[in-house]
Structure 1
Amino acid sequence: MNRGRKRPVSKVQSAQPAKATQADKSKSYPVTESIELLPFLIKSISGAGRNVIKSILAHGQVSVNGKSTTAYNMQLQPGDTITVSKERPQEKPPMEGLSIMFEDEHIIVVKKEAGLLSVSSDSGQENEVTAYRQLMAHVRLENAKNRIFIVHRLDRDTSGVMMFAKSEAVQQQLQNSWQDTVQERIYVALVEGAVKKEKGTITSWLKESKTLKMYSSFHANDGLHAVTHYKVLRTSKSFSLLEVQLETGRKNQIRVHMEDIGHPVVGDKKYGARTRIIGRLGLHARVLAFTHPITGKLVRFETDIPKLFLKPFQAPEQS
């Protein structure tokens, strides 16, 4: 992955002069002897001092055979072509509430912070900040035709691991085989009350009300089948920290199922919570493991439990 740099300037052929606009921005130098890069640049670039050349190199303005480098001691060989750009590569803007964990030509895996929308809301403004819009801008810095495609979503107030596709074909492949492709989808949930059963499974059929709130039906086939497994990681008189594994991935599934067992997710007023001890929803997508849609290899991405989720177990409880 080559974040923070635009694509290396292609090699300029001596027999075919580059277009004037390109020539104005870069210049190429043929290598005729075995030499390290920095001495070669000092020798080749007239009128520039050592510190200026080191700065040009440090800012990614030098390419060796079309590949950008900052390695001053790279060993050059006869036949190599060095291209020096007069402009610094375009810096990719910092992302808001988002960091890239993995990227290749087919997918992007990110860690999303609580408070950031995955995609625009129905009533969202045109310039609303979302994971989708930021990643679209990210891939288009390399090529204006690049796009990303939504594979799955996290609620605005849920943090954790998400994946996007970089082509419609990969998106469709992932969505059509989601149940088979995803090997692990593990969350941590900070919930209200002491969960007495060390582990358990919650099964229901989820439906959506006219007010867009999901709820459980316990009548077979009356809605979308949802299965949630949990185990207790920590517990106190007032709170429990659970590891939650999804067997199915329905809208608001964990939030509904936690309310069903009488232990709503902290901060989740919509589904019965009475506390906001950590100032956010107590739900984090910690692990996503899946079969890569192109390579067929199992890939696994894991994040730490947010420190805020441990806060209720560190402070002494009020009697």
Structure 2
Amino acid sequence: MLEVLLIILSIFLICFVSFIYVLKHERRTLWAGMTFTASLFTFALLIFISLMDLTDIYSKNHPWLISVFLLILLSILAFIAGTILVLIGMFIYNGIKIILKEGNHWTNYLSLGLGILFILVLFIYPNFGHFYINDWVTYVYIFILLTTLYFIYIMIMYTFTAWINLVNPKNPHLDYVVVLGAGLLHGDQVSPLLAARINRGIEIMKENPGSKLIMSGGQGGNETIPEGVAMAKYAEKLGISKDKIIIENKSKTTYENIMFSHKLMGPNSKFCLVTNSYHVYRALVLAKNQGLKCIGYGAKTKWYFTLNAFIREFIAYVVITKRLQITIVGIIFVLCSIAAVFDNLIL
């Protein structure tokens, strides 16, 4: 048992050191989430095996320790099962709520659809899909299950990485605070969502004396003025002087927000991106793809909107990394196809 403990301790130290390395060098990759969760998992495994070892040593004189250990194990399993059920419930509840509040748009069905998919794949088919072991449909289900589990894993890593990138404990002094635009109300009015971004940007600017705000956003098809102009007017009403504001009014996408805003900065400038919390990580990935170093800050968003928006952001991230995702799903498909052919040939 001592040898096992030493092996797991070594793995934990490797994972933890890797996590610290990623934090210091480039935390805008999924390696941040992967090394963090690997550190948590191996640490929990270390504690679990230590408890097993202690229980084995002292159970002869203290038989009640076995009951305590089993209780801890059952509690962990119950927590995992409960977490899965709660997450599915949140997906469905938030999905219904956002449809009722935000309207009948296809993007508002993402949360509800994901919750239903999890129920179908994880619960309904295993209990009611009575197919023979050599039936091709079984392998179709296995392919769907493995693909679903893969994307659940990637989503978990994405979530942890996104949280990590919202925390900025030791920040360099910022020269610019880039506030990313969003759609305007009635063609020229800042929406509550966009106002939250601007308010957060003003807070950060005040924490960095001498810094300037860059209001970034072009003019959409149903807008009468560029978003950057409307954002600047909103900030001026809050008492921010014009000389503290730079307007970027050409961008149409988040990628262009970052690219055009960076062109307005001085050389070797340090800057941050301000957007809603669910959007920060994808914005940072787009900045990384342009070779730009920056940090991100999140503005508050209505809680019922956040989960659906986060799923939309995750899908957008999958699109950004589509070559990698297609490759991995393709590998899963090939392996399932080989297994199905091999199984049918034997039978």
User: Please, what TM-score do these two structures have when normalized by structure 1?
Assistant: 0.21
Q: Which has the higher contact order (CA 8 A, sep 6+)?
A: 2
